Amino acid sequence: MSNKILVFVEQRNGEIKKSSLEAVKAGSLFAEQLGISSEAVVIGNEITNFNSISNYGISNVTHLKSADLALYSTTGYSQALSEYAKGTNADILFFANSSMAKDLAPHIAIQLDASLAMDCVELNIQNGEIIATRPVYAGKALAEIRLTKSTKIYTIRPNTFPLGEGNGKNTEVKIKEILNVNLSTKVTELKQNNDKIDVAEASIIVSGGRGLQAPENFAMLEELAKLLNAAVGASRAAVDAGWRPHGDQVGQTGKTVSPNLYIAVGISGAIQHLAGMRSSKYIVAINKDPEAPIFAAADYGIAGDAFEIVPKLIEELKK
Amino acid sequence: MKIVVCVSHVPDSAAKINIGADEKNIDKNGVSFILNPYDEFALEEALKIKDSIGADVVLVSVGGDEVKETIRKGLAMGADSGILLKTNAYRDSISTAKLIAEEIKLQGANLVFLGKQSIDGDNGVVGQLVAEILGFNSVSVAVSFNLNGDKIVAEREIEGGREVVETSLPAVITAQKGLNDPRYASLKGIMAAKKKVIDEKEVTVSEIGVELIKLKKPAQKQAGKILGKDSSAVPELVRLLKEEAKVI
């Protein structure tokens, strides 16, 4: 039997991330179903929006605080978190599957001698324990797994537990000052692309491929994305042509994503691209070639010229 | 200095994946295997160091006999030698990391490169696990890397930006696309690779912490609706997104 779920909540620039709130929601949900307690832990210096945590079911939050932990440090964060987890007797840890968690969770797994399940897209309870489903081969297959060690770590893909409305409970924040932070690996600077939404976190993605013909033609996708509060993604062809940065690539050698809506423009739908986005809840394809494989994966398609359809779509959404 | 580069033998990203009858393995029939694409960036970074200050670059891989083909590809790119930790047993990331860490210790390497993930299991954690087991520093998902004496300044890709990370040797670095442009194996490299040594060592997989219940195919979607051939279909698309899908 498990004892307690501890949810790691991530902040950046002192602000708690939405994907972590999804992990909070999942943590409180599964603690309730398993009949065990749950709590959340945040690592950082000054943090502004603690209340967002209790909105999603966990009111007991501990803030591991130090000026040295304002920015991420693999060594500092893993030391603080695993010591805290040991002290609180948590034996199930939840993380949002963010770039920080992907770095942090494996270090924690060794420090706690835990089993590790990364990038879970489904969690279910069977016979009193959690069964996780996670994509392998970029989502061309799914693995159903059971963690067998007494301490278990799950990272959960964003958009797996949609947030919905919070319930606005009060948060009780305990502050624990962390002394002697191990900074043998530390982030010294955060270089952010101004306000850009990342494809890995977005709930809507507008992606472009070779069919856009030139880098400047992504401007219309940027405009469409702005209207939808979406991220702009790209196919491997567009990235390899140098039209878009590597970080925007969706597919097997880019990011695998599960947004609510994925709009593929001028993307034919090579198998490695489909693998990276087929778990999107709704897929729209806009492509000249009605035979393109992307249409088989799409919920809605328009088999026509993107340069005519996208401006019309922008116009229609502005209405 | 000695640099270890870990490589894995994975199905081509263009391959269709079918589940085997045992539901625990994929059906390898007709699937071509490649050097994991992210490992090419890892190896290139090690070879750049070899080119500039000299280094002995050793490839380490875990798996069956078939993996030697992938180790050869790395040797053809310019690695000096290869080690196959030979086992056909089921492994999770942690058991794989333990085998690799043990070998790195034997090699006495203080710099290790891996791809940020293998495109089969997609866990993306072996590098960080190896670092933690060995007590090395680590930087994952690196898109830039600079070594000066034993000081490291690297950048790692995060959501919507990059983190500049400072650390020092000994270290494990996992490579992301964009770190460099991997070289192609030259004909001379391919010929030379045939003479290079691949040391095979039988290994035993330790305790497993992840039980694979089964592999399954993702649910197939029903083919969608083609709404039209031009912009006259746009209003209907917007209506469906709002009223049927309720996603905008």
Q: What is the pLDDT of residues A272-291, one digit of tens each?
A: 999 999 989 999 999 999 99
**SS (HEC) of B101-167:** HHHHHHHCCCEEEEECCCCCCCCCCHHHHHHHHHCCEEEEEEEEEEEECCEEEEEEEECCEEEEEEE
Residues 65-124, chain B, touching A (beta carbon < 8 A): 92-94, 119-124
Position A172 pLDDT exceeds 90:
no
Contact at 8 Å (CB) between B134 and B148?
no
Same domain, A118 and A238: no
A181 touches chain B (CB under 8 A): no
Task: Look at residues A178, A184, A190 and name the one whose alpha carbon lies nearest to residue A69.
Answer: A178
Same domain, A141 and A15: yes
Position A135 pLDDT exceeds 80:
yes
Same domain, A166 and A248: no
- Domain with residue A241: its CATH number is 3.40.50.1220
Residue A209 counted as domain residue: yes
Report chain B residues whose CB lies below 8 A from the CB of A305. Answer: 230
Strand ranges across the sheet with B225-228: A231-234, A204-208, A261-265, A282-286, A300-302, B225-228
Q: Cα(A178)–Cα(A208) distance, rounded to whole angstroms?
A: 46
Report chain B residues whose CB lies below 8 A from the CB of A256. Answer: 122
- Residue A21, judged by CB atoms within 10 A of its CB (0-12, 13-18, 19+), counts as buried
Report the pLDDT value the prediction gives residue A62, as an integer from 0 to 100: 97
Q: How many CB atoms lie within 10 A of CB A242?
A: 8
Yes or no, beta carbons of B143 and A246 under 8 Å apart: yes
Residue A194 counted as domain residue: no
B51 Cβ contact partners less than 8 Å away, ≥ 6 residues apart: none
Residue A263 is given by DSSP the state E
A36 Cβ contact partners less than 8 Å away, ≥ 6 residues apart: A1, A2, A3, A4, A5, A92
* pLDDT band of B206, cuts 50, 70, 90: confident
Please tell me which residue of chain B has the smallest CA distance to A251. Answer: B13
Mean pLDDT of A193-213: 91
Yes or no, beta carbons of A138 and B13 under 8 Å apart: yes
Yes or no, beta carbons of B211 and A72 under 8 Å apart: no
Q: Which domain holds residue A220?
A: 204-318
Same domain, A155 and A246: no
Report chain A residues whose CB lies below 8 A from the CB of B26. Answer: 137, 141
DSSP states of chain B as a string?
-EEEEE--EEE-TT----B-TTSSSB--TT--EEE-HHHHHHHHHHHHHHHHH--EEEEEEEESTTHHHHHHHHHHHT-SEEEEEE--S---HHHHHHHHHHHHHHHT-SEEEEES--TTT----HHHHHHHHHT-EEEEEEEEEEEETTEEEEEEEETTEEEEEEEESSEEEEE-TTS--PPPPPHHHHHHHHHS-EEEEE-------EEEEEEEPPPPPPP-EEEESSGGGHHHHHHIIIIIS---
Report the pLDDT value the prediction gives residue B219, as an integer from 0 to 100: 86
Report the pLDDT value the prediction gives residue B160, as an integer from 0 to 100: 87
Yes or no, beta carbons of A309 and B122 under 8 Å apart: no
Report the pLDDT value the prediction gives residue A195, as an integer from 0 to 100: 73
Give the closest of A142, A290, A302 to B216, CB-based.
Answer: A142
Position A222 pLDDT exceeds 90:
yes
Residue A32 counted as domain residue: yes
Residue A207 is given by DSSP the state E
B151 touches chain A (CB under 8 A): no
Residue A184 counted as domain residue: no
- E strand segments, chain A: 4-9, 11-12, 15-16, 37-44, 60-65, 92-96, 115-120, 122-126, 129-136, 141-147, 152-156, 172-177, 186-192, 204-208, 231-234, 261-265, 282-286, 300-302
A301 touches chain B (CB under 8 A): yes
Which of the pair, B207 or A313, is modelled with greater confidence?
A313
Show me where the domains of chain B are located: 2-202
**Number of domains present in the structure of chain A:** 2
* Phi and psi at residue B37, to the nearest 5°: -55, -40
Residue A25 counted as domain residue: yes
Distance from CA of A265 to the nearest CA of B (A): 13
Same domain, A109 and A235: no
Yes or no, beta carbons of A107 and B248 under 8 Å apart: no
Same domain, A166 and A226: no
Max CA distance (Å), chain A: 62
Position A57 pLDDT exceeds 80:
yes
Distance from CA of B197 to the nearest CA of A (A): 30
Report the pLDDT value the prediction gives residue A49, as an integer from 0 to 100: 85
Same domain, A264 and A222: yes
pTM, rounded to two decimals: 0.94
A-B contacts (CB, under 8 Å): 271
* Phi and psi at residue B123, to the nearest 5°: -75, -40
Please tell me which residue of chain A has the smallest CA distance to B140. Answer: A103
- Cα distance between the two ends of chain A: 55
* pLDDT band of A51, cuts 50, 70, 90: confident
Contact at 8 Å (CB) between A135 and A256?
yes
Contact at 8 Å (CB) between B113 and B7?
no
Same domain, A222 and A276: yes
Q: Which two tokens stand for residue A200?
A: 């890995």
Mean pLDDT of A194-207: 89
Report chain B residues whose CB lies below 8 A from the CB of A225. Answer: none
In single-letter form, the type of residue at position A8 comes to F
- Cα distance between the two ends of chain B: 56
Report the pLDDT value the prediction gives residue A165, as an integer from 0 to 100: 73
Position A189 pLDDT exceeds 90:
yes
- Domain with residue A20: its CATH number is 3.40.50.620
Mean pLDDT of A184-188: 97
Name the 3-class secondary structure at A187: strand
Report chain B residues whose CB lies below 8 A from the CB of A260. Answer: 247
Same domain, A171 and A312: no
Report the pLDDT value the prediction gives residue A193, as an integer from 0 to 100: 80
How do residues A146-162 score in pLDDT, each as one tens digit? 999 999 999 999 999 98
Q: Cα(B216)–Cα(B239) distance, rounded to whole angstroms?
A: 35
Position B221 pLDDT exceeds 80:
no
Position A37 pLDDT exceeds 80:
yes
Residue A84 counted as domain residue: yes
Please tell me which residue of chain B has the smallest CA distance to A203. Answer: B247
User: Which CATH superfamily includes the segment(s) B2-202?
Assistant: HUPs (3.40.50.620)
Q: Would residue A180 be called left, alpha or beta, if left means φ above 0 and alpha means ψ between -120 and 50 degrees?
A: left
Report chain A residues whose CB lies below 8 A from the CB of B92. Answer: 115-116
Yes or no, beta carbons of B226 and A290 under 8 Å apart: yes
* Phi and psi at residue B247, to the nearest 5°: -110, -10
Name the 3-class secondary structure at A146: strand
Report chain A residues whose CB lies below 8 A from the CB of B138. Answer: 74, 103, 107, 185
A148 touches chain B (CB under 8 A): yes
Provide the mean pLDDT of chain B: 96
Same domain, A34 and A153: yes
Q: Are strands A300-302 and B225-228 parallel, antiparallel or unpaired?
A: parallel
Contact at 8 Å (CB) between A61 and A171?
yes
Distance from CA of B191 to the nearest CA of A (A): 29
Yes or no, beta carbons of A144 and B213 under 8 Å apart: yes
- In percent, how much of chain A has pLDDT > 70? 99
Residue A119 counted as domain residue: yes
Report the pLDDT value the prediction gives residue A168, as an integer from 0 to 100: 64
Residues 42-71, chain B, touching A (beta carbon < 8 A): none
Report the pLDDT value the prediction gives residue A1, as an integer from 0 to 100: 75
Name which of A3-7, A28-32, A50-54, B226-230 the model is least confident about.
Answer: A50-54
A184 touches chain B (CB under 8 A): yes
Q: How far is CA A236 from CA A188, A242, A255, in A?
A: 31, 10, 10
The helix/strand count (H/E) of chain A reads as 9, 18
Q: How far is CA B194 from CA A213, B43, B191, in A?
A: 43, 18, 6
Please tell me which residue of chain B has the smallest CA distance to A303. Answer: B229
Mean pLDDT of B123-130: 98
Interface test with B, best of A12, A75, A91, A103 (most B CBs within 10 A): A103
- Bond before B170 cis per omega within 30 degrees: yes
Report the pLDDT value the prediction gives residue B51, as an integer from 0 to 100: 97
Mean pLDDT of B97-105: 98
